[in-house]
Chains A and B, each alone.
Chain A
């Protein structure tokens, strides 16, 4: 009994990793319908940046959030205007998928060659301070990770609902043509959305680096789980993406407790498939599904 609760808590905390990855992805997939499968690899890329800032310059990972997010925003804007602009305009799925795959190949290979496939982790002095609440063990960094994820979700929700640009992003995600009729420049809006999506990837990267060890090949796995989280939560709902991620984390953790990691993955994909077939809009999705 006690072990299951521990597995549950671990699942929730690990799920926030997937959730943070999913939030960034939800913006990109939701606005431009680009299945940005490279999100995972880019998250790992930022994990590496965090690691190098920490090991070479001694910058605390949470402080390094400022430079990393700035770099991420610039990278996102660059990627959109350089690569995805045309494909997004045509809503051309295959092109954008292939471009995303190309980015993934490039980033993964670059990390593997430049920084070797050895696993890395950011270990701070206070990082692995263990807390015991009601007999359940958690580490401080994982709790901080949860906190950051929730803050990021709230921040993004507020941005989308209360700011002018955020409303423009939502408008273009529902109907790009109507948006441009109203005078919203789709490229500007998409660029902002993409940049924020990558910025969130930066935050996810820092979260990941501080809590778990990582190596260049994690990227694809994280991206697929983020996609599942997105589908579970529903396109167009930021809170849904985070919830989806946590659900995945819980399912993975509890299922591996009972049937082992391999079948746990299988259960995840079955849930993915069932969600797609039975409830494609996810739990909280609001966007009308377009063909």
Chain B
């Protein structure tokens, strides 16, 4: 009964979220707010896979996000697939594949030889190299100004909202399937004790690489959606270190690293804070955010969903 109950709750929640635009009106601030929450949920779930479940702290999330967005822009501008482009599933799929390929390129040397901190630095270095390449190859990538997506103008938020909701469902569904499968077990084993895991016959590099690829695929598709939303791609917005690298990590840690519900809770809290913080407190909001992060890290390092385990409540979504 417990399992069926959680399924019912999930379907109910989905129905509510899907129906909200009809009740409130598609162009309200609340819909925009939910849209941002959903985008952050997807990106954070992506990081959650490599950072939370596999224990490899990747600092290149923003690179994959930007790669996804730029792929969409370039495919559209150069008319590569001859489809209808705007919200085209094929383009979005390809925007996930390109970051996954880069994940292999970056991941193979880095994951094979580096552990812990050094892996994180390696990903950060690779992301910074990519950023400079984007900034410098002005012919191809538009440099600092970026590229403008050809095509219609922004009509209404509806299609973005429901696509983002769909992505949330797909991302969480994928994460659920992965974590419940043997792959998930392998990843969990790797994150806890690599030596023990490999002595049990788990091919460490293969699983780390797989996790890295899937993670970047998810993040890349989200980048594609964001590119559609902004109608342009440039390093300042797509590769923003704060928004697409630190926030997803913060969201996962705040909500509960390595859990399914964690990023969801975390995204709601963080997006609320930063959206309203920006509007209410203005210039000083990074300071307040900084203080908040400090308080959470000091008193709640397992995140909010981690509290549940401490307090001993049921077994919902793990």
Contacts and interface: CB of A to CB of B under 8 A. Distances in A.
Same assembly: yes
Contact of A105 (B118, B135, B287): B287
Interface in A148-191: none
A101 B135 CA distance: 25
Interface string B266-287: 0000000000000000011111
Interface in A237-264: 262-263
B115 A95 contact: no
Nearest to B252: A94
A62 to B, nearest CB: 31
A276 B136 contact: no
Which among B114, B292, B293 has the highest number of chain A CB atoms within 10 Å?
A: B293
A56 interface: no
B101 interface: no
A218 to B, nearest CB: 15
A273 B117 contact: no
B240 interface: no
A98 B109 contact: no
Contact of A269 (B115, B128, B289, B291): B128
B118 A276 contact: yes
Contacts of A83: 294, 297-298
A66 interface: no
Interface stretch (B119-127, B145-153, B171-179): B119-127
Given A86-B301, A94-B57, A269-B125, A103 B294 contact: yes
B293 A276 contact: no
Contacts of B250: 98
Contacts of A113: 283-284, 287
Nearest to A290: B116
B113 A105 contact: no
B121 A95 contact: no
29 contacts: A93-B117, A94-B249, A98-B297, A99-B293, A99-B294, A101-B246, A101-B293, A103-B294, A104-B290, A105-B290, A106-B294, A108-B286, A109-B286, A112-B283, A224-B124, A231-B121, A262-B132, A265-B128, A265-B132, A270-B125, A272-B121, A273-B129, A276-B114, A277-B109, A277-B110, A277-B114, A280-B114, A289-B115, A291-B194
A289 B117 CA distance: 10
A95 B129 contact: no
Contact of A276 (B51, B125, B253, B287): B125
Nearest to A38: B290
Nearest to B115: A291
Given A92-B301, A94-B57, A98-B297, A269 B286 contact: no
Interface of A: 33, 35, 83, 86-87, 92-95, 97-99, 101-106, 108-110, 112-113, 224, 227-228, 231, 262-263, 265-266, 269-270, 272-273, 276-277, 280, 289-291
Nearest to A272: B125
A250 to B, nearest CB: 19
Given A92-B301, A105-B290, A106-B290, A263 B136 contact: yes
Nearest to A90: B301
Contact of A266 (B57, B122, B133, B291): B133
Contacts of B216: none
A273 B246 CA distance: 21
Which among A35, A97, A102, A277 has the highest number of chain B CB atoms within 10 Å?
A: A102
B116 A280 contact: no
A94 B55 CA distance: 10
A278 B314 CA distance: 47
B257 interface: yes
Given A94-B249, A277-B110, A109 B118 contact: no
B129 A269 contact: yes
Nearest to A110: B287
A50 to B, nearest CB: 22
Contacts of B120: 35, 93, 97
Contacts of A95: 253, 297, 301
A87 B297 contact: yes
Nearest to A266: B132
Contacts of A99: 293-294, 297-298
B132 to A, nearest CB: 4
Nearest to A262: B136
Nearest to A278: B113
B126 A273 contact: yes
B297 A276 contact: no
A33 B116 CA distance: 10
A176 to B, nearest CB: 15
A73 B105 CA distance: 43
A164 B298 CA distance: 31
